[in-house]
Amino acid sequence: MNNINAPDIAIETKNLFIFYGSFAAVSEVNIKIEKQKVTAIIGPSGCGKSTLIRAFNRMNDFVPSSYVTGEILLQGQNLYGKNIDPVEVRRKIGMVFQKPNPFPKSIYENISWGAKINGFKGNMDELVEQSLRGAALWDEVKDKLKKSAYELSGGQQQRLCIARTIAIQPEIILMDEPASALDPISTLRIEELMQELKKNYTIIIVTHNMQQAARVSDYTAMMMLEKDGSRSGTVIEFSETKKIFTNPKDKRTEDYVTGRFG
């Protein structure tokens, strides 16, 4: 707990507040996310889950008037520090979005574009194949790499987005409800994929689906609006997923995971 740079910590927040103008959407978050584990962020709608996960790769920068206080430490370095380039942060911390959003380009270019702009000098064909294999998509698309990514099904598109993300070799992969727009079978494939991916990557996933969190994650952060009526979300409990679902400390967590809430 007291060793910040413990080798098994991938990313850590310290007294993190996220503001939209004067409104604190997320307040006082202190969590340590372990390397090569899946960490789920759960909680009711509007409690700031997406805001929090987007803070990790500075996607909130695009929301005018948003700002952050406190620290997010990646290997001891504050991501919101003065000399930090957000582009570099996003290069290290990849993101998969709620709705599959492949580029309107070919399957091949979807993978190669990110590599190209980031100055990848290796063998592009190999990288594309490895990334697609890594996302368990290679066998389905190997014969149509030049086809448009929009010809794929929703689930395939989402796995393509995952492949696109691992192609740039990030340290952490953020997933913002990656399966919420998919059918149960595609969802299952993404969940299986996450178990594979955590061997090499740290994964943070936001999900609405508590069963999903229970199935895929090692750690779970329970978010909830603060009791003081400020409409500000915070992490009320963060521990091993097993504990959250079987023996929660906080009464609100218990209500939520047992379905007595809302």
Residues contributing to the site for another protein (CB under 8 A): 57, 59, 62, 64, 87-88, 90-91, 94-97, 99, 101-105, 113-114, 117-118, 148-150, 161, 164-165, 167-168
| Beta carbon of residue 105, minimum distance to another protein (angstroms, whole number) | 7
Nearer to another protein among residue 20 and residue 113 (C-beta): 113
How far apart, in whole angstroms, are the C-alpha atoms of residue 151 and residue 156?
A: 9
Of 219, 178, 225, which Cα lies nearest the Cα of 31?
Answer: 219
Q: Which amino acid does the sequence have at 83?
A: N
| Beta carbon of residue 52, minimum distance to another protein (angstroms, whole number) | 16
Radius of gyration of the chain (CA): 18
Nearer to another protein among residue 180 and residue 239 (C-beta): 180
| Beta carbon of residue 69, minimum distance to another protein (angstroms, whole number) | 21
Nearer to another protein among residue 102 and residue 248 (C-beta): 102
Handedness of CA 134, 139, 145, 147 (dihedral sign): negative
Nearer to another protein among residue 134 and residue 248 (C-beta): 134
Nearer to another protein among residue 50 and residue 241 (C-beta): 50
Nearer to another protein among residue 24 and residue 161 (C-beta): 161
Q: How many CB atoms lie within 10 A of CB 191?
A: 17
In sequence order, which residues have a C-beta less than 8 Å from that of residue 49 and are 6 or more positions away? 41, 42, 43, 206, 223, 233
Helices 154-167 and 107-117: angle between axes, nearest 10 degrees = 20
| Beta carbon of residue 148, minimum distance to another protein (angstroms, whole number) | 5
| Beta carbon of residue 38, minimum distance to another protein (angstroms, whole number) | 19
How far apart, in whole angstroms, are the C-alpha atoms of residue 170 and residue 197?
A: 12
| Beta carbon of residue 23, minimum distance to another protein (angstroms, whole number) | 17
In sequence order, which residues have a C-beta less than 8 Å from that of residue 107 and are 6 or more positions away? 132, 141, 144, 145, 146, 147, 148, 149, 152, 160
